[in-house]
Amino acid sequence: MEEERKTRGMFPLYLYHANQCDPKRCTGSRLLRFGLVRRRSPTELPRRSILLNPFSEQALAPNDRCAGISALDASWAHAEEVFAQLRAMKQRALPYLVAANPVNFGRPFKLTTAEAFAAALYILGEREQSFLVLGKFKWGHTFFELNRPLLEAYSRAKDSSEVIAIQSEYL
């Protein structure tokens, strides 16, 4: 898996897309169309990837080692069922960040799938790919403008507890 990443030059991104949202507003669908993520069923999500889960008790940190990032694009009720099925995967929550998407602009923790992928990539040190992901949206640059100080601080944290400490300063 690590070798695949080196040859492609991109950190692998995986998406379970349940087709439950408005296709015109769905950032997950757009990322699929541009070939920036790979579509998988829940059982096909790589076990060595990190599953972004807002219900996780542990925050994503730069020291999290993984073979990619997985996300769910589904209704909240359906997502909770899938998260429960995937307990064996390493699951991490994103720390406090503010949405820049038109639907939830300015709301904390209300990120689109694309914003979540971009934030995770940035925290894990994959800044260039993070910019590439949100570059597909006219509001993408705004996400970085709103969150740059936080993203920078999170990306320099040693571990999850330090990420939480940084988050606590902003809450």
**Confidence class of residue 1 from pLDDT cuts 50, 70 and 90?**
very low
Q: How are strands ordered across the β-sheet holding 38-39?
A: 38-39, 13-17, 69-73, 50-52, 90-92
Q: Please, what is the average pLDDT of the chain?
A: 88
48-52 average pLDDT score = 94
Q: Between 63 and 28, where is the model more confident?
A: 63
Which residues are 16's β-sheet partners?
Answer: 72
Strand ranges, E, within the chain: 13-17, 38-39, 50-52, 69-73, 90-92
Domain ranges of the chain: 2-170
Q: Distance between CA 138 and CA 166 in Å, rounded?
A: 29
Q: Is the pTM of this model over 0.85?
A: yes
